Structure 1
Amino acid sequence: MRALIAACLHAVLLAPVPAAAQSPGEALVQRGKALSQLHCARCHVVTPENRMTGISSTPSFMIMVSALEDWHDRFATFLARRPHPAHLRFENEPPRPQDSPATLAEVILTQDDLEAILAYAERLAAASR
């Protein structure tokens, strides 16, 4: 019986926290992580789980937040940094030209998406210290 109770307590303590129970800041970080995994992981390593799928010449999120002093600025302005404008744009911006190279499917982000990705990067930076 004690083993059953211990197993139940273990399962409850290790269960993921439902989104409704998360703080607004934690929910933003988790949304940023999900967006990063969905869009950024096509080129970057964003979590240990995708460490074998990034492009080798593309810096990982952990390298950027731990090795670059200007990492926050780079994340905040990544939409303007090459090669991102070729396949990313903000919602409400004009579509990319039809003659753009079709190397990747276009990603359309909102300002809220950018804030979520920044929150995730800030969490990674804090964890690397």
Structure 2
Amino acid sequence: MSHPKGFANVVYPATDLDASVAAFTALLGAGPTFQGPDFAAFDGGITLSSKPWVNHPLVFWTVDNLVETHAAMVAAGAAPLGEIADGSLAEIGTAEITHGDPATGIVDMPGSRLAVLRAADGNLIALNESVPMSW
């Protein structure tokens, strides 16, 4: 299994993105390194999202092989989650997955592959694998 290499980032929900950006800019002493219409990314692995998957901070772990780690976690009893129409997460097989692989919930994005699983103890485990960017 590909073991976590460490902390990748944490995504904070932002019901008011502008206010959240102002607060984190004050806290961190610098503005976002990148900002889009519904998210902002800061140095240090801090991301704000006005369309978060969950309504609490979500910690992502860096792995070398997301597919391998995902499969090992499922074999150990974790339930894969996928994004549904309202932008939240649901366990695979309980609702139509609208973004990502409908069988695994894995999402491919430019530069990253992401997945979220609910461990047998109920904790959410988010995985992030860096992949080459192809625009």
Identify the structure with the greater strand proportion.
2
TM tier, smaller:
under 0.3
Q: Name which one, 1 or 2, has greater alpha-carbon Rg.
A: 1
After TM superposition, the score normalised by the length of structure 2 is 0.23
